[in-house]
Amino acid sequence: MLTNAKVRSAKGRERPYKLADGGGLTLLVNPDGSRWWRLRYRYGGREKMLSLGVYPDVSLALAREKRGEARTLLARGVDPSSERKAKKVADADTFKAIAEEWLDSGCPGKRTKSRLKVGTIKQLRHRLKTYVYPYHGSSPIKEITTTAFHTTLKRLVAKDLFETAARVRAISSRVFRYAIATGRAEADPAAALIDALPRAETRHFAAITDPGEIGKLLRAIDGYDGQPATRAALRLAPYVFVRPSELRLAEWTEIDLDASEWRIPAERTKMSREHFVPLSRQAVEILYELMPHTGHRRFVFPGIRDPKGRPLSENTLNAALRRLDYTNDQMVAHGFRTMASTRLNELGFDPDLIEVQLAHMDKDRVRAIYNRAEYIEKRRAMMQSWADYLDSLKAGASVTAIGQGR
């Protein structure tokens, strides 16, 4: 019988040697000092050998436990080596294993001639990791039923995450189809659910996302000759990409220009929690320019007809865009959020950073990462890089990447 002290003190010699513990369990000590657990047993009249791991990762107690498990299998007439191989095959055919293989191979099946952008793949992986793996990741993919997968999607519907549920269903369906194509599944349980999920009433916000057209829009905004508050709000919108209501209702007490940050209180946000907006150098300059005009008021962007008591009306920014000859089908105030989301993802930024900055994340995700110091600093860097990128487009540069903040 071996002891922990004897196993711990076993040193390499000129040739490999074994230390026996009984019941077929031995410790193979190699000349380089590595120690491997081996189990010798007989099955079907033949002597066989099974590796049980490396010491100290596998302790003496754990090696004995593994020996006991192997003996139990032998008593049932099962070959431990064959059982292990079968388990490896089963593990390789789990939803998570196949999904990761699909992601690593560039998500084949997408109608594109080239590999998807890194940021897009990261976003797909994030959704699977957050919403599917906890429930189906370890399940053999061919055993996942439509009913079971429907239950998973209904968890999102219950939280009013209708769009997320639809996206998760579509992504998962592609994983199932990949499994079918590679011979590891026979059906796509997510396909049957395409019409089974309730849809929220959707609003489609017109947005400009083409880099060249973004540059034209920014130049047009710089040429806007309306009221100072309206012009400043329009100039600031692409740099901060908050919701239009959050922008027009901004108060000077929420903004710290010295710290280059804006904290929107929970009662004014859609998600009912404080939203932190790092202010880029460009955003701070816009606000400093506006301060002589409205710095003595409550609202950063006071209304045109009642500058002392009310903020800009909800139609002011859209009306300003119409004055710049952008129709309602081309660009609306809310479209600056779509512009930022689309371009930042295409530019390869961390999807978590983008979603947090858009205040899209569900409460569980935000609770885990929202206030981490390193996340705050990464968001600051992203917002400054985004502002520099916009300025490059405004200057007419053909910019397709950002060198900072990714």
Q: Are residues 69 and 215 in the same domain?
A: no
Q: Are residues 131 and 40 in the same domain?
A: no
Q: Are residues 169 and 218 in the same domain?
A: no
CATH number of the CATH domain containing 52: 3.30.160.390
pLDDT at 359: 86
Q: How far is CA 164 from CA 60, 211, 233, in A?
A: 48, 27, 31
Q: How many other C-beta atoms are found inside a 10 Å radius of the C-beta of residue 323?
A: 14
pLDDT 10s per residue in the chain (406 long)? 899 999 999 999 999 999 999 999 999 999 999 999 999 999 888 888 988 989 999 999 999 999 999 999 888 888 888 777 766 655 578 999 899 989 888 887 654 444 455 667 888 898 999 999 999 998 999 999 999 999 999 988 887 788 888 999 999 999 999 999 999 899 999 999 988 888 755 456 789 999 999 999 999 999 999 999 999 999 999 999 999 999 999 999 999 999 999 999 988 887 778 899 999 999 999 999 999 999 999 999 999 877 667 899 888 999 999 999 999 999 999 999 999 999 998 898 988 889 889 987 555 554 445 455 557 899 999 999 999 999 999 998 765 556 544 4
Q: Are 242 and 356 in contact (CB under 8 A)?
A: no
Per the domain annotation, does 127 fall within a domain?
Answer: yes
Q: Are residues 225 and 344 in the same domain?
A: yes
pLDDT at 73: 87
pLDDT at 43: 87
Per the domain annotation, does 248 fall within a domain?
Answer: yes
CATH number of the CATH domain containing 163: 1.10.150.130
Q: Are residues 60 and 104 in the same domain?
A: no
Q: Are residues 308 and 369 in the same domain?
A: yes
Q: Are residues 243 and 358 in the same domain?
A: yes
Q: Are residues 145 and 188 in the same domain?
A: yes
pLDDT at 406: 42
Q: Are residues 344 and 250 in the same domain?
A: yes
pLDDT at 169: 94
- H-helix segments, 295-334: 316-323
Distance CA 27, CA 44 (A): 25
**For 276, phi and psi rounded to 5 degrees?**
-95, 125
Distance CA 175, CA 194 (A): 15
Per the domain annotation, does 90 fall within a domain?
Answer: no
Residue tagged 């309602």 (tokens): 328
Per the domain annotation, does 206 fall within a domain?
Answer: no
The sheet carrying 35-43 orders its strands as 17-22, 25-29, 35-43, 46-55
User: Quick one: CA dihedral 125, 126, 127, 132, positive or negative?
Assistant: positive
Specify the number of domains making up the chain. Answer: 3
Structural domain containing residue 175: 95-193
- H-helix segments, 307-372: 316-323, 335-346, 351-357, 363-369
Q: Rg of the chain over CA atoms, in angstroms?
A: 30
pLDDT at 200: 58
Q: Are residues 350 and 374 in the same domain?
A: yes
- Supply 22's token pair: 């009984």
Q: Are 317 and 350 in contact (CB under 8 A)?
A: no
Indicate the DSSP class of residue 61: H
pLDDT at 361: 59
DSSP letters, 135-170, are HHTTSBGGG--HHHHHHHHHHHHHTT-HHHHHHHHH
Which of these three, 49, 83, 117, is where a domain ends? 83
Which residues are catalytic, by number? 243, 270, 334, 337, 360, 370
pLDDT at 261: 96
Per the domain annotation, does 203 fall within a domain?
Answer: no
Tell me if the bond preceding 56 is cis, omega within 30° of 0: yes
pTM for the structure as a whole: 0.51
Using alpha carbons only, what angle is made at residue 370 by residues 251 and 387, rounded to the nearest 5 degrees? 60
Per the domain annotation, does 198 fall within a domain?
Answer: no
Q: Are residues 249 and 305 in the same domain?
A: yes
Which of these three, 166, 193, 220, is where a domain ends? 193
Dihedral angle computed from the Cα positions of residues 234, 237, 238 and 240, in that order, rounded to the nearest 10 degrees: 150
pLDDT at 112: 43
